[in-house]
Structure 1
Amino acid sequence: MNLRFVYGCLLLFARITPALAQTPPPPIAIETEHISLVLTVGGNQKLYQTYLGAKLTEADKQLLPKPGPFDAYAPAPNEAYVPAGTDNLFEPAIRVVHADGNPGLALAFADVKTSQTGDNLTTTTVHLRDPVYPVDVLLHFAAYQKEDVIKTWTEIKHREKKPVVLTQYASAMLRLHAPHYWLTQLHGDWASEAKETQSELTSGLKVIDSKLGTRPSWYHTPSFLVALDKPATETSGEVLAGTLAWTGNFRLAFEVDNLNTLRMLPGINPYASEYTLPANQSFVTPEFIFTYSTTGKGQASRNLHRWARRQGGTLDGTQPRLTLLNNWETTYAKFTEPRLDSLIGDAAKLGVDLFLLDDGWFGNKFPRNNDKAGLGDWQPNKTKLPNGIGHLVQTATKADIKFGIWVEPEAVNPKSELYSKHPDWILRLPKRPEDLSRSQLVLDLNNPKVQDFVYNTVDGLLSQNVGYIKWDNCRMITNAYSQYLGKDQSHLYIGYVQGLYKVLGRLRQKYPHLPMMLCAGGGSRADYGALKYFTEFWTSDNTDAFERVFIQWGFLNFFPANTLASHVTNWNPQHTLKFRTDVAMMGKLGYDIDVAKLSADEQQFSQQVVKDYKRLSPVIWQGDLFRLRSPYEGNQVALMYVDEAQRNAVAFGYNLHTRFHEAVIPVKLQGLDPAKRYKVTEINLMPGQKSDLPAHGQTYSGDYLMKVGLLLSDGEAKQLTSHVLELTAE
């Protein structure tokens, strides 16, 4: 008899034998109003993904192909969370080394539980268990009905006598089926964040990852779009948009297998992070948040934006934000108390809600006059601030605005008292030279004493009635070694992020609604793991208005406008103040300019802009975003926000480096009510300037605006100019 045939029969029998003991349950459907993810238990008791896409009817779900029969010489397709070490031939979702050294894991269906919270949230937990070893894997799914978003994460635990070692631990494993797959990712560098790149995924494995530790999104962002069949547009095509909620090393793996199935594995990067898990403890992965659209990228973005605002993706997402004036580009680290008093007065004159004091306010033995000293010594510099932070808070209070302050509490300069007193608190390799970046090193947040130090630093400021924190981190982790962890260095990267979350959790327990900006030398911490503790993030240190169009456009794929801190600055003074202002108004408006140096007309213009922005901010912050013309497709860029009632909208038009006599083409608007009539008004005009747009002051039906459109530029598309239109239903 053919031995290969006998071996195949034995394998096949081994796979189907569990079915004799248990009848598979009905399909498990994780669903929103427009999305279905269907999991099915096979006759071999393994869990399979049998569908992901547009929502199916109950009758259609019953028609989905059942898993099996299986080829004895190849792994069964579409297993929902594939373990390593048994029959898997591709990238596994999980790999466990048992206490006895066995590196194989098998996962069989144990049970499923579903619960309902209100009329919007359905939570499903699928319990998988190794038939031989006491290892349990729980696949968690939270389906937000109205937002069409599914959040998924994995919990791993065991009851072996000794610890097991986890070497791979994806947050999820999802599969798509199409002839072609097109991946859109965000990448970049300092001052060049969130560049969009699109490429076709072909046979093999593509990995987007970070090994930077504290600034994971510096080069790549843990967010992506995958279009099926062909590249999606804003309004057409099937597309999955996903983002990982983790403020540390991440890994996004995309593998097209021999059957042309796309396997997606988002999660923590296991690089240098083999995780030793004691018995009866749980390892919980970060959440992977995704949505699915059959009508293009725009709808996918709107789904994520609504979820982020309404379901805790960002702190207080439905509440107002603060406009602010920052002192950095006016004074840098060289200032005096009277100078800051004057700037606080300028902030009040401008009409913003807050004055933000940036870097340079601390350090006495090692004064913080540049980035080479003082970091870690969080005492007000007595020369610059003889009356301390309290005086500045009082000055702001008298001016009827709030006072905020910059901190970078996770880092230290070698020229600091903290460095001298606590060398054991610093991440650095023994017997190796220190690797400095920006003249600083990283504190070890694995250490509870360091966590207390960071907490007490921020709490000490907030106890002085500071009303806003800009939390910066300008240093990645290199020379990675924790004296606190000792020999168990493989927990360093994960433990660092967990330590950061512990500190932020303590602060939020005491100050649940205090606004904070998440900064990492720009947009290097753009993720929903951190944003649940912050109201906004600093998108880039590059505030050149032309560059910011691209940077903010990229981040708006995944994050709502009220999370994108966008400031008017003098980075490129060749740009008009209006162009810089109109670009910043696309997100959460702020200023970083010397107000006193503005002309009288510029001051009047800026004061009116702040008033109008506060009036329109509910539309920009809470409305639906429609990206009308992309900067990647031409020189004329357009986008708009529409409120939920479709009564108010704000449209932005930007001309970039347009050519001589470049044709001006009407822009077809989106998201309006066809039956309503909208009055169009151009705002953000300099004093004495009249609008030259034909639509200004006119009234149109929503149907006309969406079918015919409007000119968002004047008769000639001039370089680096812009227009902002307010639409109001009559």
Structure 2
Amino acid sequence: MNTNKNSACKLKQLLLVIVLVFSNITTNATIIPIHTKDFSLLLQTDNENRLILSYFGDRLANNDELKYVSDMFNFTDENIGICNSAYTPSGTWNLSEPALKVIHSDGNNSLELKYDSHTIDPLTNGAKQYTIVLKDPVYPIEVKLFYKVFEAENLIEQWTEISHNEDGILRMQKYASANLYFTDKDPYLKSFHNQWAMEMQANSQRLTRGIKTLDSKMGSRNVMLQSQSFIVSFGHEAKENTGKVMLAQLAWSGNFKIDFEVDSYDNLRLIAGINPHASEYYLKPKEVFETPALIYALSNNGTGEASRNMHNWAREHRVLDGQGERLTLLNNWEATYFDFNEKKITKLFKDAQEIGVDLFLLDDGWFGNKYPRNNDDAGLGDWTENKKKLPHGIGYLIKEAHKKDIKFGIWIEPEMVNPESELYENHPDWVIKQSQRPEIYQRDQLVLDLTNPEVQDFVYGVVDRLFTDNPELAFIKWDCNSIIHNAHSAYLAKENTPQSHLYIDYTKGLYKVLERLRAKYPKVPMMLCAGGGGRADYNFLQYFTEFWVSDNTDPLERVFQQWNYSYFYPSIVTDNHVTNWGNQSLKYKVDVASMGKLGFDIVASELSKDELTFCTEAVKNYNSFKEIIWHGDQYRLQNPYDYDVASLLYTSKEKDRIIMFSYLVNTRVLYHTKTEPIKLNGLDANKQYRVNEINLFPNTLSQIKNEQTYSGDFLMKVGLNIPVDEDNPSVVLELTEVK
């Protein structure tokens, strides 16, 4: 045995380990700590001046110790590069999934990004914005990473700006908004898949080696198949009140792509952004490309806390009029469909008045003359009142509604066109389609080309004319039923712009229209609809006050859908209507619809006396507690997927008034429904609460001990046994502080 040779080999191995351990460390490292109330995201330069994400976890208390963090981790894999890069480039040292991939104007496809500078700026809304500049040392390309931090809510908005000063076009083949890295092991993903009438269906899975992708290629109705909202947890599936979770959404209304990669260290890499599918973007010199934001809320106490933080952030900082009011309404769709006239509609105004809602909404079918809108295959695009149905126009209906002390709103679908329409006859070049291919219709319609400024003007003009001609118009329901097939723009072709810009420029064109509308009509409520819940994101909710959850209004299905939406959205933005869907009682339907923005789509004149009385009283009750539903804190108590009875509550910020909803969701095993109490949450343990059942059907006695008082401590540790069964499938309780 050669002892000297073995010793030299061991020494060489030891030196290699030392080199590997300290390869990413430099004593002159720039450290950028990004703190929320409970978490720290630590960015740091390595010895090559590349920016790495060295830590993402519980808040670090001592800034003096931040310089030691990277000593404790070594995630440089010589086979694939640096796993924890803060924004991973392509074509040089990295062989893992990149955040940014480009082809330079000279044809070179390599990219390197090194730290240049950073700034930290306080914002007027109480947030703090970090801007970090990265530059390629060879090519004049610049990437800015933005982190807008809402400290109290443990929430971050993260996005990117890309620009360059090359001699020609920079071809961007991927351009992510965010590139995150988690060292917590055993990650789980809860995602939500969609289809018509089956939106927000939850799917949980443990993430293993490789890449799991959530994406959309729909073009317009972007979440028709898959939501861009998701939950990440560690060690186990996401739980309501325990465990580390991240609730996140890519706030983009077009195609998206979110990659979850478990790497060779069993750590999670997350890269989210616009879907680069068929969307290579040609960036001109000095042009700035801004990506949409990835919004994420963090919690060590489960999804409940993260949701409440996201709800508070949304109402305060993102949703249009998030701290304001909403209108209850009666819609005519299920009452009349396309078959109506002035007499039928004005008769429904009396129904709206009797129920006690704020507004009547006239749905699809009110427009088109040469091609009247008597079904869904004609007239779309010809936005003038149908003279046979409405000889006196929209203005007459508004006046008649006002006589009943209700407001008036209207349905539109301005991004779409029927081939059987005057608009299509006059402007076939305004339609997205391949001229050499057969047209593909969804609901007998095609999508207008919003990359075209003329089309943007037209869509803006549809809404502007409605408001200009009818200044007292109080509400808009904006629908979108088609996705983009045969993706080709005659306008982009005329402008010599690559067709790969279509999906992005369509979405940006829609935003331009909405920005113009909100500049002129900043306060008018607008509902976002897309063949049900085919659109819902926080970029749209800067322009819309609310969105339609689903065309499926069966209240049992809605318990599950509204539960899943509540992870991400406050109840003030979810539109819930009482309709003829489902075999449940009218009370069950109204109770479920009251967990958001209440509406009706029924013929009140066909209700029995007791049913009409119940609806009228239920609306009065709703008006008494809607502020708590809209602006209070939500606590999910019993999950409908795991229990026979689903339960949740809303509490005022002062915790002096609580509204609690409980629903039977499983009729197969009835003996489980009343065996144990439901523990409440979110109360003040030191306060006394009086319990009363509300929304009782006429001539029905409550099984609750009304006027009984309990301490918050008792209610949260022992709970209430709610009398929910097949004969009494929904219960609404009001808890009021006894002073």
1:482 and 2:489 equivalent?
A: yes
1:365 and 2:376 equivalent?
A: no
State the Cα deviation string for residues 132-176 of structure 1 (Å, max 9, x = none). 100000000100122221001000000001010000011000111
Aligned to 2:590: 581
Give the secondary-structure state (helix, strand or coil) at the position aligned to 2:539: helix
Give the secondary-structure state (helix, strand or coil) at the position aligned to 1:355: strand
1:537 and 2:544 equivalent?
A: no
Distance 2:186 2:703 in 1: 46
8 Å contact from structure 2 (residues 231, 238) kept in 1: no
Alignment match of 1:299 (pick from 305, 320, 331): 305
Alignment match of 1:255 (pick from 229, 253, 261): 261
Q: Note the 1:277-356 alignment, pairs <5 A.
A: 277-312=283-318, 314-356=319-361
8 Å contact from structure 2 (residues 224, 535) kept in 1: yes
Q: Note the 1:671-710 alignment, pairs <5 A.
A: 671-694=682-705, 696-710=706-720
**Cα distance, 1:601 vs structure 2:** 1.2
1:48 and 2:52 equivalent?
A: yes
State the Cα deviation string for residues 477-509 of structure 1 (Å, max 9, x = none). 111110001151000000000000000000000
Aligned to 1:556: 566
Aligned to 2:735: 727
8 Å contact from structure 2 (residues 32, 42) kept in 1: yes
Deviates more, 1:52-61 or 1:574-583: 52-61
8 Å contact from structure 2 (residues 692, 704) kept in 1: no
8 Å contact from structure 2 (residues 644, 673) kept in 1: no
Q: Note the 1:402-551 alignment, pairs <5 A.
A: 402-463=407-468, 464=470, 465-486=472-493, 488-551=498-561
8 Å contact from structure 1 (residues 53, 292) kept in 2: no
- What TM-score, normalized to structure 1? 0.95
8 Å contact from structure 2 (residues 644, 672) kept in 1: no
Distance 2:183 2:76 in 1: 19
Q: Which amino acid aligns with 1:155?
A: E
State the Cα deviation string for residues 295-320 of structure 1 (Å, max 9, x = none). 111111111111111112x1111101
Alignment match of 1:233 (pick from 228, 239, 243): 239
**Cα distance, 1:100 vs structure 2:** 0.4
8 Å contact from structure 1 (residues 657, 720) kept in 2: no
Aligned to 1:38: 42
Alignment match of 2:178 (pick from 172, 175, 183): 172
**Do the aligned partners of residues 655 and 386 (structure 1) sit closer, same or farther apart at CA in structure 2, a change above 3 Å counting?**
same
8 Å contact from structure 1 (residues 186, 194) kept in 2: yes
1:276 and 2:282 equivalent?
A: yes
8 Å contact from structure 2 (residues 161, 289) kept in 1: yes
State the Cα deviation string for residues 23-75 of structure 1 (Å, max 9, x = none). 432x2122221221111111210111111122221245344124769565551
8 Å contact from structure 1 (residues 43, 68) kept in 2: no
Q: Which amino acid aligns with 1:324?
A: L
State the Cα deviation string for residues 340-385 of structure 1 (Å, max 9, x = none). 1111122122111110000000000111011011100000000010
Give the secondary-structure state (helix, strand or coil) at the position aligned to 2:648: strand
Distance 1:142 1:64 in 2: 23
Give the secondary-structure state (helix, strand or coil) at the position aligned to 2:158: strand
Give the secondary-structure state (helix, strand or coil) at the position aligned to 1:391: helix
Identity in percent:
48
**Over aligned residue pairs, what C-alpha RMSD do you find?**
2.0
The alignment covers a number of residue pairs equal to: 714
Distance 2:175 2:287 in 1: 15
8 Å contact from structure 1 (residues 113, 126) kept in 2: yes
Aligned to 2:115: 109
Give the secondary-structure state (helix, strand or coil) at the position aligned to 1:484: helix
**Do the aligned partners of residues 703 and 483 (structure 1) sit closer, same or farther apart at CA in structure 2, a change above 3 Å counting?**
same
**Cα distance, 1:660 vs structure 2:** 3.8
State the Cα deviation string for residues 498-532 of structure 1 (Å, max 9, x = none). 00000000000001111000000111111111111
- What TM-score, normalized to structure 2? 0.94
Give the secondary-structure state (helix, strand or coil) at the position aligned to 2:399: helix
Segments of 5+ residues of structure 2 without an aligned counterpart are: 1-11
8 Å contact from structure 1 (residues 267, 285) kept in 2: yes
8 Å contact from structure 1 (residues 653, 713) kept in 2: no
8 Å contact from structure 2 (residues 83, 96) kept in 1: no
Aligned to 2:153: 147
Q: Which amino acid aligns with 2:556?
A: F
8 Å contact from structure 1 (residues 97, 165) kept in 2: yes
8 Å contact from structure 1 (residues 196, 554) kept in 2: yes
Give the secondary-structure state (helix, strand or coil) at the position aligned to 2:442: coil
Q: Which amino acid aligns with 2:487?
A: A
State the Cα deviation string for residues 220-278 of structure 1 (Å, max 9, x = none). 10010011112231011111111011001011110111111111111100000000000
Give the secondary-structure state (helix, strand or coil) at the position aligned to 2:698: coil
Q: Which amino acid aligns with 1:693?
A: I
Aligned to 2:7: none
Aligned to 1:651: 660
Aligned to 2:399: 394
Distance 2:508 2:553 in 1: 32
Distance 1:365 1:77 in 2: 62
Give the secondary-structure state (helix, strand or coil) at the position aligned to 1:381: coil
Q: Which amino acid aligns with 1:51?
A: Y
Q: Which amino acid aligns with 2:410?
A: I
**Do the aligned partners of residues 65 and 385 (structure 1) sit closer, same or farther apart at CA in structure 2, a change above 3 Å counting?**
same
8 Å contact from structure 1 (residues 68, 76) kept in 2: no
State the Cα deviation string for residues 582-625 of structure 1 (Å, max 9, x = none). 11111211111101111111111111111111111111111111
Aligned to 1:210: 216
Distance 2:399 2:106 in 1: 64
Give the secondary-structure state (helix, strand or coil) at the position aligned to 1:661: helix
Distance 1:69 1:548 in 2: 45
1:597 and 2:606 equivalent?
A: yes
Give the secondary-structure state (helix, strand or coil) at the position aligned to 2:491: coil
1:97 and 2:111 equivalent?
A: no
Give the secondary-structure state (helix, strand or coil) at the position aligned to 2:227: strand
